[in-house]
Each structure stands twice: as structure tokens, then as C-alpha cells.
Amino acid sequence: MAELSDDELLAELGVSIAPTKAVGRTPRQERILAGFEDIVRFREEHGRPPQHGETRDIFERLYAVRLDRLRALTECRELLAPFDRYGLLAVPERAEAVPAEALDDEALLAELGVDVAKADDISVLRHVVSREEKRAAEEIANRTPCEDFDTFRPLFDQVRKELDTGARMTRTLDKAEMQLADIRPGEWFVVGGQMAYIATAGDEFVTEYDRKDRRLRVIYDNATESNVLARSFQKALYRDDAGRRITNPSAGPLFGDQAEGDDLESGTIYVLRSKSNLPEVAKHRELIHKIGVTGGSVEARITQAAQDPTYLLADVEIVATYKLFNINRTRLENIFHRLFGAVRLDLSIDDRFGQPVKPREWFLVPLHVIDQAVRKIRDGSITDFVYDPATASLKSTARSTAP
């Protein structure tokens, strides 16, 4: 048998000896490939393509949007076809393909959800997330159904009520001052658009980078939970521009004559009575009140009342004021508007240019009921009451627990 050359031996074994042509790709194509690889990995891990839906975690929803863009762009489908071993790029019926030539580099990357700085060289990578940060974010996003959510539901309901009444507030995170120790059981946050409750924390340990950490059980308001590292949760809060801390209920009364301790004076609730001679006002003067909230002086606010149509173009008298501490003024004003909306004064008055104005803050409600409403806002029970115009009183909406 004649001895085979190396080339002939390789050919017998089915090995191609033709030189492999180097494939040169533009920075834009490399970005597209990298984005598609994330989707392929998701398909391998979950056995299905990423899907849309509010119940899906943020990464799956991001991948689903990206996949839609890739399917719609002809150039992308052609570029990625050799790598699409799962048929992910099959275009659904009635989907319209977007010709890639109609898009410049920035527009194409924008279609793919890639944030690029306005620069001439798009090959410069920007906003690159480290492997550690991505792993932390994926850990946050990897949530499971909370089997005992009924145990936590009353807590979420109570916190929502306290947010509505102003007993709690959401505050922007101070990244310079927030410590890992601040993320502890019993604390509340907003992350990824969802309310999050730190239910439990495991024992503290030291990581391979000599940093302290611990596992948390975090419950979310959509009845899911995650078993996440405290540092991962902290990073997720920092990356979320809308991330917030939910404050604990303020100690002491929300309203009083003086601030105490660390209370922050935010303004004053004021109740006014009009001196207008309009027949509809004069007829019910003792019942018609303007309820508002101001961060400044009430007296200064009403100095030009006689020239302001929102004050019925007449002088007013101050019949009640309540100091306001540690509470959102706009939210509080909205509470009053919702509570007494059914008895809002239906009155139109022309301004000095002859244009009709409908004042919004005048209500047909007795002063003692307004005072009662303030007390219920203070103790957090206002969400369980509605105003009954027939009896001119607050009525409880809480369900009776009697047998």
C-alpha cells in the first residue's frame, strides 16, 4: 500500500485542508452578535425563547424586545442565520421587515436597545457591565413564586395605606451614605418598579474578596421572592434610577403646633372661608371651605385673594391650620381631593381676561368633618373612610368582623 501524504491522510479522514477565510466584522455586527448570544444562552437555560409579559423578569423582557428587533431587521437575520441553531429568528406572520440600509449605525443600535454615546467612533464600547455586576443583576431578576405570600399580603397592604396617608414616604437612595447594614429585615424598598420587603437575613460571611455579605429573603409585591446576596440587592438598587427606600412610619403625630426632635417641617394644611357675595357662596358660606397645603406662609398666600379667581375673586378668612411634618404635600392634597371630590363646589368664575375658571379646592363640607379627616390622616385610618354627603359625615368602609 502506497504511503499517503499528510494532505491525503487528512482528506481520507474527512478533514478539510482548505484555508479558513478570516471573517471580518464591523463593530456594529459584533454588537449584534453579542446581543444575540445572550438570547441563545437564555434559550439553552430555559428551553424556550424569551417572552413578553409583566410577570416575566426584567432580563427576559429585555431579551424578548431585542429578539423582536433582530427578527424585524433583514440585515440582522442574514448576519445571525449561521448562529441560529434554535430557529429563534423565524419571523412571525404579518411581521414587517425593516430594511437595514434605511438605518444608520446609531439608528440600528437604537433598534437593538443599545445605548451609544453621540460620538463618531461607534467601535468604542460604552456602558459595559462587568461580569460581576451582570451576575448580581441576574440574581435579582431570578425570582420564584412566593408560596406563603398570604402571610405577607397584609404587610404590603398596610405599607400602601401608610404611603397614601403620608405616614411613610419613598426617598431617593443616598449612594454615598447607604451601608450594607441598612439592608436588613423589616426594611422596605422599591426596585425594578416593585415594592420589596426584606423578610429574613442569613448569617454574615466573608467573600473571596474579603467583603462581608449575607443571604436575604426578599418578598416582592407581585407575589414573588428571591434568595439574594445583600450586596447584589444593593447593586440592583444603585443601578435602578427609580430605586427608592420606603421610610418607616414617622414617630409621633404628623400634625402639631411644633416640630420635635428630627421632624422636618414640610408646610401647613389650611382651611379658608370665602367672603364672596356670590349668591351661591353666600347661601352656604358656613359649609363652603377651601382646603389646601402650602410650604410657605398661609397669610402671604392669600394676600392677593381678591384678584385671584382660584379664591373666587374675594377676600378669605383662615378658619383652621395644621402644621405638617415629614409628609408629601402633593400627596396629602390629593387625599383631600379624593375624599371630598363628590362635594366639590361646581362653580365657574371669569378671570380678569374674561376667561372662565373652575376653582378645584372649594368643597361643601363642615369644618368639624375636615378636622376629623385630619385626625384620621394622622393615625393612618383615612383610607378606610369615605365622605357621605347625605349625612355630612365620614363613613367607615372597613368590613365588619362580627359573626
Instruction: Give the end of a domain, one of 78, 95, 128.
Output: 128
Contacts of residues 392-401 at CB distance under 8 Å and 24 or more positions apart, as own/partner, are: 392/365, 392/366, 393/369, 394/369
* DSSP secondary structure, 150-219, as one string: HHHHHHHHHHHHHHHHTSS-EEE--TTT--GGGS-TT-EEEETTEEEEEEEE---EE-TTS-EE-EEEEE
**Cα(183)–Cα(179) distance, integer angstroms:** 8
Domain assignment of residue 158, given as a range: 142-246
Domain presence at residue 55: yes
* DSSP secondary structure, 294-348, as one string: ESS-HHHHTTTGGG-GGGTTS-EEEEEEEEEESS-HHHHHHHHHHHTGGGB----
Domain presence at residue 135: no
Q: Are residues 273 and 195 in the same domain?
A: no
On whether the CB atoms of residues 392 and 381 are closer than 8 A, the answer is no
**Cα(360)–Cα(314) distance, integer angstroms:** 16
Q: Are residues 124 and 159 in the same domain?
A: no
Closest listed residue to residue 103, CA positions, set 68, 64, 76, 81 = 76
On whether the CB atoms of residues 321 and 294 are closer than 8 A, the answer is no
Domain presence at residue 403: no
**Cα(99)–Cα(33) distance, integer angstroms:** 18
Q: Which residues pair with 170 in a beta bridge?
A: 246
Residue 19's alpha-carbon distances to 10, 15, 16, 22, 198, in angstroms, are 13, 12, 8, 9, 59
On whether the CB atoms of residues 73 and 108 are closer than 8 A, the answer is yes
Domain presence at residue 189: yes
Domain presence at residue 365: yes
Structural domain count, the chain: 3
Q: Are residues 236 and 276 in the same domain?
A: no
Q: Which residues pair with 197 in a beta bridge?
A: 188, 219
Q: Are residues 95 and 161 in the same domain?
A: no
Place of cell 428630627: 262
On whether the CB atoms of residues 201 and 214 are closer than 8 A, the answer is yes
**Cα(190)–Cα(177) distance, integer angstroms:** 18
Q: Please provide residue 387's backbone torsions phi and psi, each rounded to the nearest 5 degrees.
A: -95, 130
Q: Are residues 114 and 204 in the same domain?
A: no
Q: Are residues 122 and 185 in the same domain?
A: no
Please give the pLDDT value at position 13.
58
pTM of this structure: 0.38
Residue ranges in the chain whose pLDDT is less than 50: 19-22, 94-105, 108-109, 111-133, 135-140, 251-265, 399-403
Please give the pLDDT value at position 116.
42
Residue 375's alpha-carbon distances to 250, 271, 336, 338, 369, in angstroms, are 15, 15, 13, 16, 10
On whether the CB atoms of residues 245 and 171 are closer than 8 A, the answer is yes
Task: Render pLDDT for 65-111 as a digit per residue (tens, 0 to 9).
Answer: 888 888 888 888 888 988 898 899 986 654 444 444 444 445 544 54
Instruction: Give the end of a domain, one of 95, 128, 161.
Output: 128
Neighbours of 63 (CB within 10 A): 23
**Which 3 state secondary structure label does DSSP give 288?**
strand
Instruction: Give the end of a domain, one of 128, 159, 191.
Output: 128
On whether the CB atoms of residues 219 and 226 are closer than 8 A, the answer is no
Task: Give the containing element (helix H, strand E) for 273.
Answer: strand 265-274
**Length of the chain (residues):** 403
Domain presence at residue 256: no
Domain presence at residue 40: yes
Q: C-alpha 238: how far from its chain's center?
A: 14
Q: Please provide residue 145's backbone torsions phi and psi, each rounded to the nearest 5 degrees.
A: -60, 140
Q: Are residues 124 and 148 in the same domain?
A: no
Q: At what angle do helices 329-339 and 367-379 cross, to 10 degrees?
A: 130
DSSP state of 73: B
Q: Are residues 163 and 48 in the same domain?
A: no
On whether the CB atoms of residues 218 and 225 are closer than 8 A, the answer is yes
Task: Render pLDDT for 379-401 as a digit per residue (tens, 0 to 9).
Answer: 777 878 889 988 888 988 764 43
Domain presence at residue 401: no
**Beta sheet of 224-229, edge-to-edge order:** 144-145, 224-229, 215-220, 194-201, 188-191, 244-246, 170-172
